[in-house]
Amino acid sequence: MHRIDTKTAQKDKFGAGKNGFTRGNPQTGTPATDLDDDYFDMLQEELCSVVEASGASLEKGRHDQLLTALRALLLSRKNPFGDIKSDGTVKTALENLGLGEGSALPVGVPVPWPSATPPTGWLKCNGAAFSAE
């Protein structure tokens, strides 16, 4: 990826080495930023690569492909939190969520439930033996 780098780009618009665009100013002789094929090719390929990485094919008539691809890549429910486990960062993730050691309610602590039927996944505290496996 690169910033616009044509001869008429506004130099250092966003800081040193960070060129931008200008509409120009005829009164001062400042030309508007020229656009070139390198810049448009870069934009096209950066955006298309996200869509294609999601497993989708480009469709000319669709205007939601980038959003759909980002959702597929970042919000996939196929393996929730699988990356956290594979990265070895479970402890950090729990700390970031305020869970686990040192939290107000450590993971695994018995919690009374105010009705006869506990939520799905909870065990009824009735003294019966159970296995976590």
Is pLDDT at 121 greater than 90 in this prediction?
A: no
- Gap between the Cα atoms of 57 and 51, Å rounded: 7
Segment 100-129 shows an average pLDDT of 77
Residues near 35 by Cβ (< 8 Å), separated by ≥ 6? 4, 6
Q: What is the pLDDT of residue 38?
A: 96
Least confident of 31-35, 36-40, 56-60, 122-126: 122-126
> H helices within 6-54, ranges in order?
37-53
Q: What is the pLDDT of residue 120?
A: 81
Contact 36, 9 (CB under 8 A): no
| 26-47 pLDDT, tens digit each | 999 999 999 999 999 999 999 9
Is pLDDT at 79 greater than 80 in this prediction?
A: no
Is 25 in a helix, a strand, or coil? strand
- Gap between the Cα atoms of 90 and 29, Å rounded: 59
Is pLDDT at 61 greater than 80 in this prediction?
A: yes
Which residues are bridge partners to 7 per DSSP?
none
